[in-house]
Amino acid sequence: MFAPAYLDHNATTPLDPRVLEAMLPYLGSRFGNASSRHEYGRHARQALDTARQQVAAALGAHATEVVFTSGGSEANNLFIKGAAAFLRPGLVALGATEHPSVREPARQMRRAGWRLEEMPVHDSGLVRTEGYTRLLQEKPTLISLMLANNETGVVQDVAARAAEAKAAGGRGWFHTDAVQALGKMALDFRALNAAGVHALTVSAHKIYGPLGAGALVLDKRVELAPLVAGGGQERNLRSGTENVPAIVGFGLAAELAVARLSDAVAGMLRQRREIEAGLANLGARIFGAAAERLPNTVFFGFEGIEGETLVGHMDRAGFALASGSACSSANPEPSHVLLAMGVAAEVARSAVRVSVSRDTKGEDVQRFVEALGAEVRRLRSLSAMAA
Amino acid sequence: MFAPAYLDHNATTPLDPRVLEAMLPYLGSRFGNASSRHEYGRHARQALDTARQQVAAALGAHATEVVFTSGGSEANNLFIKGAAAFLRPGLVALGATEHPSVREPARQMRRAGWRLEEMPVHDSGLVRTEGYTRLLQEKPTLISLMLANNETGVVQDVAARAAEAKAAGGRGWFHTDAVQALGKMALDFRALNAAGVHALTVSAHKIYGPLGAGALVLDKRVELAPLVAGGGQERNLRSGTENVPAIVGFGLAAELAVARLSDAVAGMLRQRREIEAGLANLGARIFGAAAERLPNTVFFGFEGIEGETLVGHMDRAGFALASGSACSSANPEPSHVLLAMGVAAEVARSAVRVSVSRDTKGEDVQRFVEALGAEVRRLRSLSAMAA
């Protein structure tokens, strides 16, 4: 079977075969409900405990700070709505380039009397100091600023922004969506927490783990109402029978994601640079190029070429890429991330994302650069003929 | 390896090997994000579409009425809180024996000004007509009444109760938790919907499917706010990357659960009767015995023997059972289901649940009845000596 080169790891990653191996017993004879008080249940409970230790260790957190959820979107919603439920409605301040799973719950809260403000960003995608300082004076009750952007890969200095919030006398809770950061840069919840970050979201299926598992890492001073209330699982913060196979997979995937991180980062960065060199030759614009970015992500566009069109042609040529944000690509609007960065709507429509991983083959990157060049030249010659 | 006889299928079921087989490609090379516009994404999308058809067909629903969630608890929370978000706070009426994932979200709503009333039940576990009629006169905005109880197996005539609500001129939405009903009795959402049921919850891991998938089947007239907001998946009712392997497994599990349902029901019922005959010889009390019950569930107790103790001894003897409700067994309180049925707290503490399945072996049932008899006689002689 012909398998296209997969260059869309920010959308989802394959399951690491070692992770699947670790999950299989729990998809087989070890199928118990972790709340059950018999042999099957105890095995499930032990597996959850081990996975919680693994995720905590990978993030520099304590196991008791890890709240398992069904994924990153749920963890973001849990923080935003769960914390709001215990607070008097006030100001929620979000980065202008947050993921929809942070923006949309914050918008829902407006019905309950919350005010929503976005921190403006530079062309680079980084938060503007002056705008942020002004927002902090309004004493936001909740702040959410993503560590690394899913589309551009732009990395915010979240520790510095949290420290500024603290220094400004803010008493709000500070959350960061680290879904795209894990496995692509060092993460240390203890250090972030010391700087003033109270909660952090991660997800398994972005780090070669399974779909169906994520976590909110949470400073225990934060009171949260559960999104999913019921049987009282996850210290009453997330009810529902624990998804043991997925959580077991998440544990090992987290361990593997940080085990040889510097090698993985160096490899991805080398590939990103090769892609960027190719893009420069073709005259592409790279979004967020002026900021520090994830080693695996390039978000780019060619003038006059629709991102959707280019992604479609590259798909037929055997390369899996994303246009705009894969997570919301049911939505044909230009990327809100790029619009927030001051990119004109028609330029934003040209955007294409390539995201490699620790396992991407060098030859796939080479073939990609060549195929992209051929495709772009073909599309340009077609449009020149049409003109 | 010694495998204890598993008689706790209402807590969770093993994964059917055919279901695992169907999931494996999606845990392997077919790992794409269903929102991605490339070959990997299209395969994932097609798999979701197929699974949605399978779940709909198993339930007598349209595919467009199926909203996938991470499980039954989430689906219950989604209905209760999601519907409430679009309604003026009013009365929410619940069965007195509902699952915690219905009761707890309803309790959370009290902070938003909702009033919560429970429909009283008879000793049998069935809703009392007079109490229900009185409640209907108060025009509840939301009603939730479970089809089959997870602890007792008692089956409510939900269609009749919904029809009464409709006849009383109620304009509220009527929901039923059918998590324990699926695969153990015939279910027809179209017929229930015609009677006045607007939403129904099901879960994969109770029907030999995987953990991490459930569904809310929803009459499209019901407006719901998402619990997990974000990328807009599931017609904007449940955001987050779809758990394709789990949903694929759910689809097949649902198909298998109804494929030879009458054979499965007959087999389970035979085993339940054998267990009940054994229990009668031992002088057990069977809770909900006067009502129609699921063919696979017996909830019983022996005077003077703690359920926890008996479950522990039976575990060591090689039989996996539940005491009270496994889903909330972190909680040592006596079952709220039994208390609602008028059972005294000390009697409720004796409760033990055995739940067989379509695959339970006859010899395991025989061995169970014998081992239970030996254990009960031993515990009785110990307590006679102590007295």
Candidates A234, A190, A19; CA nearest to B27 is A19
Q: Which chain A residue has the Cα nearest residue B321?
A: A38
Q: What is the pLDDT of residue A331?
A: 56
CA separation for the pair A262, A369 (Å, rounded): 25
Query: Per-residue pLDDT averaged across B11-23, rounded?
Result: 98
Residue B73: CA count within 13 A, CB half-sphere: 27
What percentage of chain A carries pLDDT values higher than 90?
A: 95
Chain B contact for A74 (CB, 8 A cutoff): yes
Q: Which chain B residue has the Cα nearest residue A227?
A: B227
Chain B contact for A116 (CB, 8 A cutoff): no
Could you give the angle at which helices A244-259 and A39-59 cross, rounded to 10 degrees? 30
Indicate whether B328 pLDDT > 60: no
* Cα of A85 to nearest chain B Cα, Å: 9
Tokens linked to A346 = 């028609």
Query: Per-residue pLDDT averaged across B125-129, rounded?
Result: 97
Chain A contact for B74 (CB, 8 A cutoff): yes
In contact, B56 and B63? CB cutoff 8 Å = yes
Q: List residues bridging with A182 in a β-sheet.
A: A185
Residues of B in contact with A313 (CB under 8 A): none
* Cα of B289 to nearest chain A Cα, Å: 24
Residues of B in contact with A38 (CB under 8 A): 4, 8, 311, 315, 319-321
Q: What is the pLDDT of residue B130?
A: 94
- Describe chain A by its helix, strand, coil percentages, rounded to 5: 45, 15, 40
Topology annotation, domain B17-258 = Aspartate Aminotransferase; domain 2 (3.40.640)
In contact, B294 and B148? CB cutoff 8 Å = yes
Query: Per-residue pLDDT averaged across B58-82, rounded?
Result: 98
Q: What is the pLDDT of residue B358?
A: 96
Q: What is the mean pLDDT of chain B?
A: 96
Inter-chain residue contact A73 with B326, CB threshold 8 Å: no
Q: How far is CA A275 from CA A134, A292, A365, A368, A371, in A?
A: 38, 16, 7, 8, 12
Indicate whether B326 pLDDT > 80: no
Residue with tokens 């010694």: B2
Q: What is the pLDDT of residue B2?
A: 67
Inter-chain residue contact B211 with A107, CB threshold 8 Å: no
Structural domain boundaries of chain B?
5-13+261-386, 17-258
3-state SS string for chain B? CCCCEECECCCCCCCCHHHHHHHHHHHCCCCCCCCCCCHHHHHHHHHHHHHHHHHHHHHCCCHHHEEEECCHHHHHHHHHHHHHCCCCCCEEEEECCCCHHHHHHHHHHHHHCCEEEEECECCCCCECHHHHHHHHHCCCCEEECCCECCCCCEECCHHHHHHHHHHCCCCCEEEEECCCCECCECCCHHHHHHHCCCEEEEEHHHCCCCCCCEEEEECCCCCCCCCCCCCCCCCCCCCCCCCHHHHHHHHHHHHHHHHCHHHHHHHHHHHHHHHHHHHHHCCCEECCCCCCECCCEEEEECCCCCHHHHHHHHHHCCEECEECCHHHCCCCCCCHHHHHCCCCHHHHCCCEEEECCCCCCHHHHHHHHHHHHHHHHHHHHHHHHHC
Chain A contact for B322 (CB, 8 A cutoff): yes
Inter-chain residue contact B38 with A320, CB threshold 8 Å: yes
CA separation for the pair B365, B244 (Å, rounded): 36
Spatial CB neighbours of B194, under 8 Å, sequence gap ≥ 6: none
Chain B contact for A201 (CB, 8 A cutoff): no
User: What is the secondary structure of A318-354 as a DSSP string?
Assistant: TEE-EES-GGGTTS-SPPHHHHHTT--HHHHTT-EEE
Indicate whether A196 pLDDT > 60: yes
Measured between CB atoms, which of B231, B242, B244 is closest to A101? B231
Inter-chain residue contact A73 with B99, CB threshold 8 Å: no
B86-124 confidence digits (pLDDT tens): 999 999 999 999 999 999 999 999 999 999 999 999 999
Measured between CB atoms, which of B77, B108, B211 is closest to A244? B211
Q: What is the pLDDT of residue B384?
A: 83
* Cα of B225 to nearest chain A Cα, Å: 9
Q: What is the pLDDT of residue A384?
A: 83
Q: Which chain B residue has the Cα nearest residue A41?
A: B320
A170-195 confidence digits (pLDDT tens): 889 999 999 999 999 999 999 999 99
In contact, B297 and B10? CB cutoff 8 Å = yes
> A22: buried, middle or exposed (CB in 10 Å: 19+, 13-18, 0-12)?
buried
The number of C-beta contacts closer than 8 angstroms across A and B is 275
Provide the ipTM.
0.97
Q: How far is CA B9 from the centre of its chain?
A: 11
The reported pTM is: 0.97
Tokens linked to A269 = 């960065």
Measured between CB atoms, which of A12, A31, A32 is closest to B31? A12
Confidence of residue B153 (pLDDT cuts 50, 70, 90): very high
To the query of whether residue B327 is one of the catalytic residues in this protein, the response is yes
What percentage of chain A carries pLDDT values higher than 70?
A: 97
Q: How far is CA B156 from CA A140, B104, B128, B148, in A?
A: 49, 21, 11, 6
Inter-chain residue contact B243 with A70, CB threshold 8 Å: yes
Q: What are phi and psi of A354, to 5 degrees?
A: -115, 135
Set B23, B96, B327, B348: catalytic member? B327
CATH architecture of B5-13+261-386: Alpha-Beta Complex (3.90)
Inter-chain residue contact B36 with A239, CB threshold 8 Å: no
Q: What is the pLDDT of residue A325?
A: 52
Set A136, A199, A327, A376: catalytic member? A327
Measured between CB atoms, which of A38, A211, A226 is closest to B8? A38
Q: What DSSP character marks residue A205? A: G
A131-148 confidence digits (pLDDT tens): 999 999 999 999 999 999
Q: How far is CA A212 from CA A315, B124, B196, B212, B254, in A?
A: 27, 38, 33, 6, 19
Inter-chain residue contact B104 with A230, CB threshold 8 Å: yes
A63-97 confidence digits (pLDDT tens): 999 999 999 999 999 999 999 999 999 999 999 99
Candidates B340, B14, B330; CA nearest to B152 is B340
Tokens linked to A106 = 């914050």
- Burial track A283-292 (b if 16+ CB lie within 10 A, e otherwise): ebebbbbebb
B244-297 confidence digits (pLDDT tens): 999 999 999 999 999 999 999 999 999 999 999 999 999 999 999 999 999 999
Return the residue in A104, A150, A239, A359 with the most chain B beta carbons within 10 A, the one to mutate for interface testing: A239
Chain B contact for A82 (CB, 8 A cutoff): no
Confidence of residue B387 (pLDDT cuts 50, 70, 90): confident
C-beta contacts of B51-54 below 8 A and 24+ residues apart: B51/B247, B51/B248, B51/B250, B51/B251, B51/B252, B52/B247, B52/B251, B53/B251, B54/B250, B54/B251, B54/B252, B54/B254, B54/B255
Inter-chain residue contact A37 with B329, CB threshold 8 Å: yes
* Cα of A328 to nearest chain B Cα, Å: 5
Q: What is the pLDDT of residue A195?
A: 98
Residue with tokens 């923006």: A103
Chain A contact for B246 (CB, 8 A cutoff): yes
Candidates B387, B322, B386; CA nearest to B352 is B322
Q: Which chain A residue has the Cα nearest residue B86?
A: A111
Tokens linked to A80 = 């935003």
* Cα of A168 to nearest chain B Cα, Å: 30
Confidence of residue B324 (pLDDT cuts 50, 70, 90): confident
Tokens linked to A313 = 């042609």
Candidates A246, A167, A162, A237; CA nearest to A207 is A246
Query: Per-residue pLDDT averaged across A371-375, rounded?
Result: 98
Measured between CB atoms, which of A1, A15, A70 is closest to B31? A15
Indicate whether B21 pLDDT > 70: yes
Indicate whether B126 pLDDT > 80: yes
CA separation for the pair B261, B268 (Å, rounded): 10
Looking only at the bridges linking them, the beta strands covering A319-320 and A322-323 are unpaired
Return the residue in A15, A38, A179, A238 with the most chain B beta carbons within 10 A, the one to mutate for interface testing: A38
Tokens linked to A170 = 């803010």
Q: What is the pLDDT of residue A150?
A: 97
Inter-chain residue contact B326 with A72, CB threshold 8 Å: no
Residues of A in contact with B85 (CB under 8 A): 108, 111
Chain B contact for A232 (CB, 8 A cutoff): yes
In contact, A189 and A181? CB cutoff 8 Å = no
Q: What is the pLDDT of residue A326?
A: 45
3-state SS string for B15-55? CCHHHHHHHHHHHCCCCCCCCCCCHHHHHHHHHHHHHHHHH
Measured between CB atoms, which of A40, A228, A229 is closest to B320? A40
Candidates B19, B349, B315, B141; CA nearest to A28 is B19
Indicate whether A151 pLDDT > 50: yes
Confidence of residue A352 (pLDDT cuts 50, 70, 90): very high
Looking only at the bridges linking them, the beta strands covering B297-301 and B352-355 are antiparallel
Residue with tokens 């019921």: A230
Inter-chain residue contact B107 with A321, CB threshold 8 Å: no
Indicate whether B166 pLDDT > 50: yes
